[in-house]
Structure 1
Amino acid sequence: MNFDLTDDQEMMRDMFVRFLDEHSSIARVRAAAPWGFDPALWAGLAELGALSIRVPEESGGLGLGLFDAVILMEEAGRTLVSGPLAETLVAARMLALLGGDAATDLLGRVMAGEAVASIAFHDIATQPVQWIGGGQVAQAVVARRSEDIVLIDVPDGARVAEENLADTPMAQIDLGALPQVVLASGADAVATFASGVEEWKLLIAAGLAGIGREALKLAAAYACERKQFDQFIGQFQGISHPLADLLCDVDGGKFLVWKAIRDIADGAPEAGAAISIAAWWNSDAAGRAVAQALHTFGGYGLTTEYDIFLFNLRAKAWPLLLGDPQRLIGEAGRRLYAGEQAALPDAGDMPVDFDLGEDARAITQEIEDFFAVHVTPEMREAFHYSWEGYNPELNRKLAAQNLLYVGLPQDVGGRGLSAYEKTAAMDAFEAEGYNNPAANVTQMVALIVHRFGSEELKAAILPEIMRGEVICSLGYSEPGAGSDVFAAQCRATQEADGSWRIDGTKMFTSGANLSTYVLMLCRTNPDVAKHKGLTMFIVPLKAEGVTIQPVHTFQDERTNITFYDGVKIPDSWRLGAVDGGVRTMSASLELEHGGGFAKYQRAMLHAAETLCREIQCDGQPLIADAGAQARLARTAANLWASELIAFRANWASMEKKPNLAYGPMAKMFSSEKFQSDARDLLDLTAPLSLSKRKGAAAEINMFYRHAQGATIYGGTSEVHRSMIAERALGLPRTRA
């Protein structure tokens, strides 16, 4: 897996950053209005080779890949480049691929920045009058005319300036009335031109990702400076949390562009749909990001003295040249579910890679083989996504094959899988229908005991844990504390003989009814800051004074409330220093590599696809309905973005990169999308989805129930939004 640019690409990006920061500064962008074109900037881009980046070397260009052009476009979006850059990049490539001698002179002038060429999106045989990106300054337009690809000469008189939303150089031109030269004809020529339109979608999507990211950066900076009610407004969660949400959306959109290019390079069957999804997603994400950024500025954002309005208008103007972006998600639906084919552009070299690797495939195969041999139909019948799916026999078998604690380091006795292998293993278990929260929690407890436990404690419990004979639960949450684990009030008082007495209540002690031990966070010093007066202990759940009462949820899942009344444990069962519980608890973080709910989203989508093929609507399967296809495609988009954001967290962990709340982003984003898609797919497949009928209907029903807790498990979305706002956007701390 790789999210890094090559050294050459880093150098190229740095070159474009330096140039655009100077020559596409906000002052220059403002000066280019209302014409929307900066000739000096254009000439400078040409001198840097930007306009020839996608022209093959044999035609005098740089011959670089689609990803290189995307790098340029992201910086162009960040700096609101004044000119039809995406259109010109595509037109130049079309002139080189289709133009031959007829276009040689024009291509040279376009690459030199002496002429501007653009493209027409629609067949001029049926739609001769079209809006053209850069039409006010374009001397030529490459277009399709039925089975011909033509070059249209656009004289000055045909280029009429017109006021528009964002002061871009668009123009409506009657292309059918202008001189035309046929560049190429036939199916191959039409496909090459169509691939250029697909390339434009990705270039604009990348530019929109740059616009959205920069708008959020400006908003965050302003929120760190502006005070209201004697506080920086960035401290208000009503300001910081929407920005955190949108950062996930914008980053996810950038990665969807990368995925589309990777899919093209790999020949993946969903490559065409990935292009449509990337274009649709970024149009929507950028539009919402710039709107929220402007809102952060309040009334000042409406004034032309502040720059944020420029981002707001440009984010809407760029993608709308193609038409309503909502058509793109419908297009993605047809490409995924109706067999519609797309003409794909050539990707060129693509260094970014989302492959988990051969070791990941090996662990997947090992798990598949294990389940084929060791898991009976009776065991499968009892599988459940919650703790209630725990099977003692299967737990021991997994431990014997060293498949139980896949993320636990080898020095503790676990499998010690990498983040990539662990992701693959979790997906493999999900594919088998097996979820094992008991193992995930127990390996966390084993790690803490190994790192901080006394020799007596390790000897007492680690062997039976590692043999899979017992499981452990977590005693963090309390009735009045929720996600604020540092507010724990369950007391641990040291007795004269050095032992400890524990008194209090823990809420949501999932698995306590099945577990042998609970890892507890207790208050040992009420006179210091709340996070400094905590200590960790292992408590046997069969000890005298422990009471476990069930708490049933509508998710078909049991949790527990546990009471501790004078429970006595020896000091040797303490973990770490007295009042050092926070440091002790942090040891478990090395098992976290940015997970999320993508594996459930994938299974839910597959169940919905199955139901849509079974349900009849107006005499045909529901999956043949365009609306159903678009909604399934939207779920696929959310799944892909969830996976990519989680992959980024895995990669950052593996490569020791700075981690700007990538784990919280993965968890928060995927849990929110899991929940919203669960609602939508339940609606889409109703009324069958209301049934718990065995098969896909029961799965959709179950996923809807399960999703309701996704934004609460492991810390609520609100907690994660605060972490994202602080670490990734640099906003002031919003929590005590």
Structure 2
Amino acid sequence: MEFGFGDGDEAFRREARGWLEEHLVGRFTAAVGRGGPGSEHEGGAERRAWERELGEGGWIGLGWSEPGYGNRVASLTEQVVWAEEYARVRAPGRYGHIGENLLAPTLLAYGTEEQRRRYLPPIARGEELWCQGYSEPGAGSDLASLRTSAVRDGDGRWRVTGQKVWTSLAHEADWCFVLARTEPGSRRHHGLSFLLVPMDQPGHIDVRPIRQLTGTSEFNEVFFDGALAEDLVGEEGGGWRVAMGLLGFERGVSTLAQQIGFAEELREVTRTAVKSGAVDDPVLAERLVRLWAELRTMRWHALRTLGGADDAGAAGAPSAAKLLWGGWHQRLGELALRVRGPAAAVGPADWSPERPYELDAQQRLFLFTRADTIYGGSDEIQRNIIAERVLGLPKERP
């Protein structure tokens, strides 16, 4: 299948561009370019209001397979157009990404109609934000070894107890979808259930920020102590199937928008190299050119995957994409400091003990990208997936 844009897509592009230019004004201009990787802590109030603005404009839920929940459905190419235009104007980083792009498709695939009617409209309006309760201190890449449990109380409702970690934006979220063990004595992926838990439960849920190398703390650890779960998605004990289905929705159109952000970061690093004279070093110049060529390759890989290319590697395409961009972005972060020379290690002129982590964009880029090959599925896990599902190699011993 050839992936391309037609006349209808270009008309949709003009509509999207016009709406963004008309609405990304006033209080929202303060959030332009803020809220991306490594800076999720910036512009919180404006970005939350921006979610509601997007909802009123009908721009949330374009990728859902069904309309009727307050959203409108766009074609695949129109979704790409929207993602590209959104990235080009450096619109605020999305607070609603997890609800819109992870939970909503999961409910459409595995939830009941009652659940869809309850949870999807508030997401489409930008009113309710979600976080993901998967990873634990002893169950990161090895998610099946999780220990968080849920038991029935006297009223037959699920009560969740345990700890989740690296929970993005848990301090802002209204809800959390939690993978918990509901069958005592079960092992690995058996006996798990997919639960929907409201975050506003004082005394039962404790959110603690995790401070990172960048000095920010958009990630959190979350402690559940008998927290009430409002809903169960899928079958009791069938949560692994639902959880893996959700991960299949994680990478798609947003990859192309991500690459537009990468391209801007690369341009900034290139401008710095020219300004500092580092571009005259043939080794550094070659690295810049290579990064540019690799970014173009990632774009064509993403378009080919979205276009439905039928080949033996289709099952491993999301893992291949993660391997590509994780390593690429990490190398960009390293080069961002290398082209600046010794100045890269110098803090701002107005440094003070009260503000020890005032980093500039390229310093933050370097530090944040240290995690790119770990979060969202480590490189080792992605290689295992490709080995097993694409190459047909035997699974690792437990």
TM-score range, shorter chain: 0.7 to 0.9
Which residue of the partner structure matches residue 352 of structure 2?
A: none
1:510 deviates by: 1.0
Q: Does 2:61 correspond to 1:400?
A: no
Which residue of the partner structure matches residue 431 of structure 1?
A: 88
Contact 1:439 1:471 (8 Å CA) reproduced: yes
Contact 1:452 1:576 (8 Å CA) reproduced: yes
1:520 deviates by: 0.6
1:411 deviates by: 3.1
Which residue of the partner structure matches residue 36 of structure 2?
A: 385
Which residue of the partner structure matches residue 683 of structure 1?
A: 338
Which residue of the partner structure matches residue 97 of structure 2?
A: 440
CA deviations on 1:354-374 (whole Å, 9 max, x unpaired) are 645555544544443223111
Correspondent of 2:22 among 358, 370, 373: 373
Contact 1:406 1:417 (8 Å CA) reproduced: yes
Q: Does 2:259 correspond to 1:598?
A: yes
Percent of aligned pairs sharing the same letter: 24
Contact 2:313 2:390 (8 Å CA) reproduced: no
Q: Does 2:207 correspond to 1:548?
A: yes
Correspondent of 2:181 among 523, 532, 536: 523
Contact 1:547 1:564 (8 Å CA) reproduced: yes
Contact 1:494 1:500 (8 Å CA) reproduced: yes
- Letter of the structure 1 residue corresponding to residue 385 of structure 2: M
Matches within 5 A, 1:219-618: 355-358=4-7, 360-376=9-25, 378-382=27-31, 383-386=34-37, 387-389=40-42, 390=44, 391-411=47-67, 413=69, 414-434=71-91, 436-443=93-100, 444-454=102-112, 457-544=115-202, 545-555=204-214, 556-570=216-230, 573-588=231-246, 589-590=248-249, 592-593=251-252, 596=255, 598-615=259-276, 617=277
Contact 1:419 1:593 (8 Å CA) reproduced: no
How far, CA to CA, are the matches of 1:602 and 1:663 in structure 2? 20
Which residue of the partner structure matches residue 314 of structure 1?
A: none
CA spacing shift, 1:365–1:700, aligned 2, 3 Å = farther
Which residue of the partner structure matches residue 715 of structure 1?
A: 377
How far, CA to CA, are the matches of 2:8 and 2:134 in structure 1? 35
1:717 deviates by: 1.0
- Letter of the structure 1 residue corresponding to residue 24 of structure 2: V
How far, CA to CA, are the matches of 2:200 and 2:265 in structure 1? 38
CA spacing shift, 1:656–1:688, aligned 2, 3 Å = same
How far, CA to CA, are the matches of 2:273 and 2:9 in structure 1? 32
Q: Which has the larger radius of gyration?
A: 1
1:564 deviates by: 0.8
1:397 deviates by: 1.0
CA spacing shift, 1:566–1:528, aligned 2, 3 Å = closer
* SS of structure 1 residue aligned to 2:104: helix
Which residue of the partner structure matches residue 729 of structure 1?
A: 391
How far, CA to CA, are the matches of 1:691 and 1:378 in structure 2? 33
- Letter of the structure 1 residue corresponding to residue 329 of structure 2: F
Correspondent of 1:635 among 291, 306, 311: 291
1:575 deviates by: 1.1
How far, CA to CA, are the matches of 2:179 and 2:390 in structure 1? 29
CA deviations on 1:45-101 (whole Å, 9 max, x unpaired) are xxxxxxxxxxxxxxxxxxxxxxxxxxxxxxxxxxxxxxxxxxxxxxxxxxxxxxxxx
How far, CA to CA, are the matches of 2:368 and 2:74 in structure 1? 27
How far, CA to CA, are the matches of 1:692 and 1:409 in structure 2? 48
How far, CA to CA, are the matches of 1:468 and 1:598 in structure 2? 25
How far, CA to CA, are the matches of 1:698 and 1:355 in structure 2? 37
Which residue of the partner structure matches residue 319 of structure 2?
A: 664
How far, CA to CA, are the matches of 2:123 and 2:56 in structure 1? 12
1:468 deviates by: 0.7
How far, CA to CA, are the matches of 1:725 and 1:568 in structure 2? 40
* SS of structure 2 residue aligned to 1:714: coil
CA spacing shift, 1:559–1:699, aligned 2, 3 Å = same
Matches within 5 A, 1:55-66: none
CA spacing shift, 1:680–1:511, aligned 2, 3 Å = same
CA deviations on 1:499-527 (whole Å, 9 max, x unpaired) are 11111111111111111000111101143
Unaligned runs of 5+ in 2: 349-358
Contact 2:147 2:180 (8 Å CA) reproduced: yes
Contact 1:476 1:506 (8 Å CA) reproduced: yes
Contact 1:407 1:591 (8 Å CA) reproduced: no
CA spacing shift, 1:561–1:377, aligned 2, 3 Å = same
How far, CA to CA, are the matches of 1:586 and 1:418 in structure 2? 25
Which residue of the partner structure matches residue 366 of structure 2?
A: 704
- Letter of the structure 2 residue corresponding to residue 381 of structure 1: A
How far, CA to CA, are the matches of 1:487 and 1:606 in structure 2? 42
1:425 deviates by: 3.0
CA spacing shift, 1:551–1:671, aligned 2, 3 Å = same
How far, CA to CA, are the matches of 2:164 and 2:109 in structure 1? 24
Matches within 5 A, 1:641-656: 641-652=297-308
* SS of structure 2 residue aligned to 1:538: strand
CA deviations on 1:531-584 (whole Å, 9 max, x unpaired) are 1211011100002411111112123342111111111235xx111110011222
How far, CA to CA, are the matches of 1:415 and 1:357 in structure 2? 20
Matches within 5 A, 1:174-253: none
- Letter of the structure 2 residue corresponding to residue 559 of structure 1: F
- Letter of the structure 1 residue corresponding to residue 207 of structure 2: I
**Matched positions, count:** 375
CA deviations on 1:143-186 (whole Å, 9 max, x unpaired) are xxxxxxxxxxxxxxxxxxxxxxxxxxxxxxxxxxxxxxxxxxxx
CA deviations on 1:229-248 (whole Å, 9 max, x unpaired) are xxxxxxxxxxxxxxxxxxxx
1:482 deviates by: 0.7
How far, CA to CA, are the matches of 2:390 and 2:323 in structure 1? 14
Contact 2:178 2:195 (8 Å CA) reproduced: yes
How far, CA to CA, are the matches of 1:625 and 1:644 in structure 2? 29
Contact 1:510 1:558 (8 Å CA) reproduced: yes
CA spacing shift, 1:406–1:499, aligned 2, 3 Å = same
CA spacing shift, 1:709–1:658, aligned 2, 3 Å = closer
Contact 2:65 2:108 (8 Å CA) reproduced: no
How far, CA to CA, are the matches of 1:411 and 1:549 in structure 2? 37
CA spacing shift, 1:395–1:709, aligned 2, 3 Å = same
Deviates more, 1:482-491 or 1:432-441: 432-441
1:593 deviates by: 3.1
CA deviations on 1:284-319 (whole Å, 9 max, x unpaired) are xxxxxxxxxxxxxxxxxxxxxxxxxxxxxxxxxxxx
* SS of structure 2 residue aligned to 1:641: helix
For normalisation by structure 1, the TM-score amounts to 0.47
